[in-house]
Every structure is written in C-alpha cells, then in structure tokens.
Amino acid sequence: MNEWMNNPAMQSIDPIKMELIRTAAAQTQGKTGKALAPVMMALITNANKKGIQFTPDEFSLILSVLKEGKSKEETDQIENMVRMVSTYMKK
C-alpha cells in the first residue's frame, strides 16, 4: 500500500506533514483523477487549519512520486486534479 511513501525523496518532508499525507493517502486508496481532488483539498485545508503549509517543492515532489509507474491516462488525471486544486487554492 502506497509504496511511493517509502521513496527516499519523501524522507525530507517534515514528519507532521508526512502524517497528514498518510491520512490523505489512506483516503485516496484506489482512487484516481477527479476523485483525488476532494481529498487533496481536504489535505491542504487541514494543514492550513494547523498552521502548516506545503511548499511548492514539497507539493511537486509528492505529485511526481505519485505519478511514478502510472499510465498516461492516470498521469493526465493527476495533472487535471492538480489544476483543480491550484485553482481552488488561488481563490
């Protein structure tokens, strides 16, 4: 389950942020594309409520690791989800 979380690059992320990511990952198991957007928004919202913000580099890292080994269709769905979440964050 969620082998991407064992990626060595993920070890540089703050442990508190990793706990939020683990919670979101549990909620996204088996989901792709548009189904990921509400969970990602909840992750960001919950982090903000706790005074935690993911840096653009951390967010990019999480997404790039998530896309590893995915089909072109799944990667496109993840990219669409990122655009949706980015739009939400700018409001």
Q: Which tens digit of pLDDT belongs to each residue from 56-90?
A: 788 777 777 667 677 888 888 878 877 776 776 66
In a domain, 57, yes or no: yes
In a domain, 3, yes or no: no
Domain that holds residue 62: 33-91
Q: Are 71 and 19 in contact (CB under 8 A)?
A: no
In a domain, 89, yes or no: yes
In a domain, 7, yes or no: no
Provide the whole-model pTM.
Answer: 0.61
Q: Which tens digit of pLDDT belongs to each residue from 25-51?
A: 777 677 666 676 677 777 778 888 888
CA distance 55 to 84: 18
As for how many domains the chain has, the answer is: 1
In a domain, 12, yes or no: no
In a domain, 76, yes or no: yes
In a domain, 54, yes or no: yes
In a domain, 19, yes or no: no
